[in-house]
Amino acid sequence: MLDTLVTPDQLADFIPLAQRAVSIESASMIRFRAAEQRVAGFVRLPYEVLAGRTLATETAAAFDITVAAADFLRWAEQSGPAPAGKDAHWLSALPPRQGWRRVEVVPDSVIRNLVRSGADLAGGATSRQSQEALLASVVLTVAGDGSAPRVQVRLGALTALTRMGFLPRDSEVAVDVSEGWTRIAAAYGSTYVSDGNPLGLLSL
């Protein structure tokens, strides 16, 4: 079905996102949402974090489809058939397209130091539960200019930002909020945390 909507070339820039998701979880799904000549691709990561990026591209129509990331990679690299839709594997919400408010901008060096410190602590963790607790811990609080809400950012969202290759050296990260969501936006992509429903509703 995906091949009736776009060509592999149109989605080629999502290959690194899918590759990194598969390296974390071989059964990862990637969800594409297209509208207004833009396509966004999202993957679900551990610890209730979404990672994604949005690119400008020409598409025949708006669509929203989920496929296996590994199947997408084979198709995009022209070594396999078009991936079958697996929408039932992803029933949770996606972040909104619009309505984001900027809270604060943070240098990438601050993010890297937090992630590095977290990795050092995780290396000494004695169980998976303690590692999960560490990644769920708040390591950054931003308050903007006083008119924006106070936002607490978990280590998992920052770790995912670096692990997905979204954060170039000598850059900045923006902390944005929309109703029910926090976005950590870097040059090559963003991570998202929902303030409400869990992201991983089904694992089929």
pLDDT tens for 107-166 read 999 999 999 998 888 777 667 787 778 888 999 999 877 666 789 999 999 999 999 999
Q: Residue 192 is inside which H or E element, if any?
A: strand 190-194
Both 123 and 81 in one domain: the answer is: no
Confidence of residue 196 (pLDDT cuts 50, 70, 90): low
Both 134 and 69 in one domain: the answer is: no
Query: Does 179 fall in a domain?
Result: yes
Domain count, the chain: 2
Mean pLDDT for 35-60 is 89
- Considering only residues 62 and 58, tell me which one the structure prediction assigns the higher pLDDT: 62
Domain boundary among 37, 60, 89: 89
Domain boundary among 55, 89, 123: 89
> Which CATH number goes with the domain that contains 58?
3.10.150.10
Report the alpha-carbon distance of residue 69 to residue 78 in Å, rounded: 14
Report the alpha-carbon distance of residue 94 to residue 80 in Å, rounded: 28
Q: Is the pLDDT of residue 202 over 50?
A: no
Both 126 and 74 in one domain: the answer is: no
Q: Is the pLDDT of residue 61 over 70?
A: yes
Give percent of the chain above pLDDT 70: 93
Mean residue pLDDT of the chain comes to: 88
Both 82 and 113 in one domain: the answer is: no
Query: Does 63 fall in a domain?
Result: yes
Mean pLDDT for 18-31 is 95
Mean pLDDT for 78-100 is 91
Both 6 and 82 in one domain: the answer is: yes
Query: Does 35 fall in a domain?
Result: yes
Domain boundary among 59, 89, 119: 89
Q: Give the CA count within 13 Å in the CB-facing half-sphere of 102.
A: 9
Widest Cα–Cα separation across the chain: 52
Question: 172-185 pLDDT, tens per residue?
Answer: 999 999 989 999 99
Q: Is the pLDDT of residue 203 over 80?
A: no
Q: Residue 55 is inside which H or E element, if any?
A: strand 49-56
Q: Which residues contact 43 (CB under 8 A, 6 or more apart)?
A: 17, 18, 21, 28, 29, 30, 31, 50, 51, 52, 69
Report the alpha-carbon distance of residue 155 to residue 73 in Å, rounded: 29
Q: Is the pLDDT of residue 200 over 90?
A: no
Q: Is the pLDDT of residue 104 over 80?
A: yes
Both 74 and 31 in one domain: the answer is: yes
Range of the domain at 124: 101-194
